[in-house]
Amino acid sequence: MGIETGVAAAHTAIVAGESIYKGWGWFKKWRYGKVVITHPHNRAVVQPEWVDVAGTHRGAKGHYWLIMARGDGGEYWPSRRINLLQDGEWREKVNVGSASAPKTSVVLLVWVSDFMHSILEVIIDRNTRAKYWGAVKMNPPKKHFSIVQSVVLNVVP
């Protein structure tokens, strides 16, 4: 194989990869619609406890939740279901916890299936009645739980 043939093959592979990536983005918009967090921005500095989270939506399908996460251990704190407003916006509050020293907190914007939505509602109801706010360990399949966006917040007391 000559150099020209190798360069042409590499170019073809790159173009094919770009097309697949664009196709995947189109598929996700078609399946879920478009829901994004617009405030606060990634790496924003926030105060402990309650933080306002806002965003926009267009053609949203299914249920969207804000979930707090820590690390890769599958520990989640379901926060709230997003109430999508008619004007194409949404606003909710999440609790990033108390902090005596600076820490980071991750807010996940998650699309969930009807099944997972029901489970999260039961978890929130159970936690509210028990006044228990510990982490929930879960590893749901992608057909029930898909992370749309994540925002890392710097919590400073």
Write out pLDDT tens, residues 99-156: 788 888 899 999 999 999 999 999 999 989 999 888 888 888 888 988 999 999 999 9
Residue closest to 119 by CA, chosen among 86, 156, 144, 82: 144
Q: What pLDDT shows up at residue 141?
A: 84
Q: What pLDDT shows up at residue 98?
A: 83
Is residue 82 within 8 Å of residue 65, measured between CB atoms? yes
Tokens 């918009």 map to which residue?
29
What distances in angstroms separate CA 1 from CA 15, 55, 104, 135, one per listed residue? 20, 52, 51, 56
Residue type, 8: A
Q: Residue ranges per domain, the chain? A: 1-32, 34-155
Tokens of 14: 């790159």
Residue closest to 92 by CA, chosen among 124, 66, 70, 110: 66
Is residue 94 within 8 Å of residue 44, measured between CB atoms? no
**Per-residue confidence at 39, pLDDT binned at 50, 70, 90?**
very high
pLDDT: which is higher, 154 or 3: 154
DSSP 41: P
**Per-residue confidence at 41, pLDDT binned at 50, 70, 90?**
very high
Any bridge partners for residue 103, and if so which? 155
Cβ-based neighbour number of residue 144 at 10 Å: 15
pLDDT in tens, 43-85: 999 999 999 999 999 989 889 999 998 766 678 899 999 999 9
Domain 34-155 fold: Immunoglobulin-like (2.60.40)
Q: What pLDDT shows up at residue 35?
A: 94
pLDDT in tens, 4-21: 665 565 556 666 566 665
Give the containing element (helix H, strand E) for 21: helix 3-32
Q: Which of 28-32, 63-67, 94-98, 103-107 has the highest mean pLDDT?
A: 63-67
CA–CA separation, 77 vs 145, rounded Å? 14
| Gyration radius of the chain's alpha carbons | 19
Q: 3-class SS at 85? A: coil
